[in-house]
């Protein structure tokens, strides 16, 4: 953030030269540490201006401008890089991802996001079991990156019997790519102690058959509960996974990342890697607030979050990457994609009142799941902000988005002048009446542009369940931007493969790239819908300056002083 801010400040004032710039006085004697010249330096300043050269001293950009102007920064020790006309721009800030899960997914039985029939699904998982014959009958097999929506379109949704048919006694759990669903076999349900008498958690459900027995499909909080039954990774395994995540980020040009669902494990792992000099991107970690705990005792929930933040948060960002923990994450709802239909909507999802051959889509009763009702959300958000946290609200459906905006409006009214930076992430379905409220309430919309393409998750059921009107405005990043709202990018990796450039491209085209293996081929070519797109300049801003604004580093010191004066 500091780098890009200074970069932008300097680029916007090239005529200013030395005034207030770090290192200016000494440059004649020692020169900059490094200069890069002869490039296409894309500044992301207010005019998206393009310069030629940059000088860096002590990890900070001290000059941006012409090749001629940078010449005086060259000293005897200066490293001079000839960019040979190539593009240089601020590092990517991925403002919503899950690096712990991403690193971990690389080590599981991996279904690799592939759309597969139930038969291929069974064969792939059987191969993983067969490759681990030495594992005892009580050791979980964990399977990741399952394209549930793709399978649903081909063969229908599976249940525990699909896994029970495999040759093993081991408990198995399969996690969907979106992380909102876990499928478990009968042995897994038994090991976890889940049966017809088990109550649903407040923020999810065990899907049941007509007799009330769990089918093996676990949604949201129930999926998390199932994942928690597996013994956690050891410290050594966690470090291996975190290194793998940082390696994947380096290959994408990510210099800062927001871990949208963190806990002490990730805080510990990234802090350890910082100490060993292996933390190659700034780590900003968000603490999940549990709806049941927050309803029962909101003060305790916030106090626990503060205590966790105090353990890992390192204060103001420095030049070298460090660890910060100053955000709280709230899941307002599930997901709007069929067949889950758990995103909270203002009006019901449609269901097929006809037949498969002659479908008749009509409103049903389901409006999705809302995990924080306003009477819990509003006072909780107020307490979180008073404690110095920025809220990061997962809201996919238009009702969850509206309730989130209402909650933020409430806090703005209670704390006028407070500089907190709220974010609504995903915002896949937004009522047009709410587009302008992102700007009015200074809320960042964090969007994953790769979802604005035709894919099994969008056009093989979700379109029918939403109906034509809602589908036509699905993934409204362009609409929110046109209404003046700030849009930032977050990959949500490993929900999708980590491919930032594909996502940026889809932000502009709102179409898949049939040539890219991380897209969905010619069957899914063409635009998602006719909702407006972002421009190239806009998408580059979403992954740099807007992401930095979402994460609001420069305001922290003031805000945390303000917060601590309250306590």
Site for Zn ion in 411-470 (CB under 5 A): none
- Residue range at the interface with Zn ion (CB under 5 A); choices 5-13, 14-22, 257-265, 406-414: 257-265
- Which lies closer to Zn ion via its Cβ, residue 95 or residue 194? 95
Cα separations (Å) of 375 from 97, 143, 438, 518? 29, 38, 22, 41
**Part in contact with Zn ion (CB under 5 A); list of ranges 111-119, 164-172, 255-263, 479-487:** 255-263
Pick the closer one to Zn ion by CB: 255 or 423.
Answer: 423
What is the closest distance, in whole angstroms, from the C-beta atom of residue 374 to Zn ion in the complex? 23
* Binding span for Zn ion by CB under 5 A among 259-267, 294-302, 385-393, 532-540: 259-267
Is residue 162 packed enough to be buried (19+ CB in 10 Å), middle (13-18) or exposed (0-12)? buried
The residue among 101 and 403 lying less far from Zn ion, judged by its C-beta, is 101
Say if CB 125 and CB 165 are below 8 A apart: no
What is the torsional sign of CA 52, 57, 59, 61? negative
Q: CA–CA separation, 490 vs 470, rounded Å?
A: 23
DSSP string, 142-173: EEEEE-HHHHHHHH----HHHHHTSS--S-EE
* Residue 61 binding Zn ion, by CB under 5 A: no
Q: How far is the CB of 178 from Zn ion (least distance, A)?
A: 9
Residue with Cβ nearer Zn ion (460 or 492): 492
For the beta sheet containing 53-57, the strands, ordered from the edge strand earlier in sequence to the opposite edge, are: 60-65, 53-57, 34-37, 79-82
Question: Minimal CA–CA distance to 475: which of 460, 493, 495, 459?
Answer: 459
Compute the least distance from the CB of residue 425 to Zn ion, in Å. Answer: 7
Q: Are 182 and 173 in contact, with CB atoms under 8 Å apart?
A: yes
CB closer to Zn ion, 3 vs 455: 455
**Closest by CA position to 553, among listed 243, 255, 248:** 255
Whole-number minimum distance, CB 551 to Zn ion, in Å?
15
Rounded Cα–Cα distance for residues 282 and 544 (Å): 13
> C-beta of 265: minimal distance to Zn ion in Å?
17
Closer Cβ to Zn ion, 260 or 447, answer by number: 260
Q: What DSSP designation does 511 have?
A: B
Question: Which residue, 423 or 479, is less far from Zn ion as judged by CB?
Answer: 423
**How many Cβ atoms from other residues are within 10 Å of residue 71's Cβ?**
12
Burial of 477 (0-12, 13-18, 19+ CB in 10 A): buried
Q: Is 393 in the site for Zn ion (CB under 5 A)?
A: no
Closest CB 327 distance from Zn ion, rounded Å? 13
Q: Is the separation of the CB atoms in 32 and 75 below 8 Å?
A: yes
- Closest separation between CB of residue 97 and Zn ion, Å? 7
Tokens of 171: 């408990």
Q: Please, what is the minimum distance in Å from the beta carbon of residue 98 to Zn ion?
A: 6
Which C-beta is closer to Zn ion: that of 174 or that of 260?
260
d(CA 180, CA 219) in angstroms, rounded, equals 6
C-beta of 365: minimal distance to Zn ion in Å?
A: 28
Give the nearest distance from C-beta 492 to Zn ion in angstroms: 4
Cβ at position 393, least distance to Zn ion in Å = 11
Q: How far is the CB of 396 from Zn ion (least distance, A)?
A: 10
**151 or 260: whose CB is closer to Zn ion?**
260
Closer by beta carbon to Zn ion, 73 or else 493: 493
178 vs 274, beta carbon nearer Zn ion = 178
Half-sphere exposure of 264 (CA within 13 A, CB side): 9
106-to-149, 159, 241 alpha-carbon distances in Å: 21, 25, 8
Q: What is the 3-class SS of 69-80, one letter each residue?
A: HHHHHCCCCCEE
CB 337 within 8 A of CB 496: no
260 touches Zn ion (CB under 5 A): yes
- Closest among 307, 294, 297 to 377, alpha carbons compared: 294
Nearer to Zn ion, 260 or 504 (CB): 260
3-state secondary structure at position 282 = strand
How many of the chain's residues bind Zn ion (CB under 5 A)? Answer: 2
Q: Which residues contact 160 (CB under 8 A, 6 or more apart)?
A: 183, 184, 185, 186, 188, 189, 214, 215, 216
Of 57 and 450, which CB lies nearer to Zn ion in the complex structure? 450
Cα gap 509→126, rounded to integer Å: 39
Q: Shortest distance, CB of residue 331 to Zn ion, whole angstroms? A: 9
Among residue numbers 479 through 538, which ones bind Zn ion (CB under 5 A)? 492
User: Which residues of this protein are in contact with Zn ion, per CB under 5 A?
Assistant: 260, 492
């Amino acid at each position: 953030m500091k780098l890009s801010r200074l970069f932008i400040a300097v680029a916007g004032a090239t005529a200013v030269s030395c005034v207030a710039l770090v290192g200016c006085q000494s440059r004649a004697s020692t020169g900059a540490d490094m200069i890069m010249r002869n490039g296409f330096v894309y500044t992301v300043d207010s005019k998206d201006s393009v310069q030629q050269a940059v000088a860096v001293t002590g990890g900070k950009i001290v000059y941006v401008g012409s090749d001629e102007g940078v010449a005086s920064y060259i000293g005897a020790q200066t490293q001079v890089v000839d960019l040979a006309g190539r593009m240089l721009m601020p590092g990517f800030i991925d403002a919503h991802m899950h690096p712990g899960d991403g690193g971990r997914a690389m080590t599981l039985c991996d279904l690799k996001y592939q759309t597969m029939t139930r038969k291929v699904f069974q064969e792939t998982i059987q191969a993983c079991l067969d490759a681990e014959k030495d594992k005892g009958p009580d050791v979980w097999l964990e399977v990741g990156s399952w394209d549930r929506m793709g399978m649903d379109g081909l063969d229908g949704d599976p249940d525990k019997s699909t896994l029970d048919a495999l040759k093993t006694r081991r408990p198995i759990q399969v996690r969907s790519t979106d992380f909102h669903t876990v499928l478990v076999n009968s042995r897994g349900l038994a090991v976890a102690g889940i049966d017809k008498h088990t109550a649903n958690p407040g923020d999810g459900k065990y899907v049941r058959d007509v007799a009330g027995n769990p089918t093996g499909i676990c949604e949201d909080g129930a999926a998390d509960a199932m994942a928690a039954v597996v013994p956690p990774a050891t410290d050594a395994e966690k470090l291996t996974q975190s290194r793998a995540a940082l390696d994947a980020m380096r290959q994408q040009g990510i210099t800062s990342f927001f871990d949208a669902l963190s806990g002490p494990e990730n805080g510990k792992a990234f802090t350890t890697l910082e100490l060993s000099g292996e933390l190659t991107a700034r780590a900003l970690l968000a603490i999940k607030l549990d709806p049941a705990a927050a309803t029962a005792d909101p003060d305790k929930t916030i106090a626990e979050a503060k205590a966790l933040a105090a353990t890992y948060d390192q204060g103001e960002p420095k030049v070298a990457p460090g660890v910060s923990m100053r955000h709280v994450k709230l899941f307002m709802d599930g997901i709007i994609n069929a067949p889950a239909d758990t995103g909270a909507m203002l009006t019901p999802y449609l269901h097929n009142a006809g037949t498969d051959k002659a479908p008749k889509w009509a409103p049903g009763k389901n409006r999705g799941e809302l995990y924080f009702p306003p009477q819990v959300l509003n006072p909780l958000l107020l307490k979180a902000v008073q404690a110095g946290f920025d809220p990061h609200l997962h809201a996919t459906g238009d009702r969850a988005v509206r309730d989130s905006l209402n909650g933020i409006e409430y806090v703005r009214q209670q704390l006028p002048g407070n500089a907190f930076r709220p974010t609504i992430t995903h915002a896949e379905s937004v009522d047009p009446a709410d587009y302008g409220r992102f700007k009015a309430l200074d809320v960042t919309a964090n969007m994953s542009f790769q979802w604005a393409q035709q894919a099994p998750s969008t056009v093989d059921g979700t379109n029918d369940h939403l109906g034509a009107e809602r589908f036509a405005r699905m993934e409204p990043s362009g609409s929110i931007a046109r209404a003046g709202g700030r849009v930032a990018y977050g990959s949500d990796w490993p929900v999708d493969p980590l491919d930032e450039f594909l996502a940026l491209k889809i932000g502009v085209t709102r179409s898949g790239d049939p040539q890219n293996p991380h897209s969905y081929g010619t069957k899914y070519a063409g635009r998602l819908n006719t909702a407006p797109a972002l421009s190239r300049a806009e998408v580059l801003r979403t992954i740099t300056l807007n992401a930095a604004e979402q994460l609001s580093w420069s305001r922290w010191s003031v805000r945390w002083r303000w917060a601590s004066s309250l306590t």
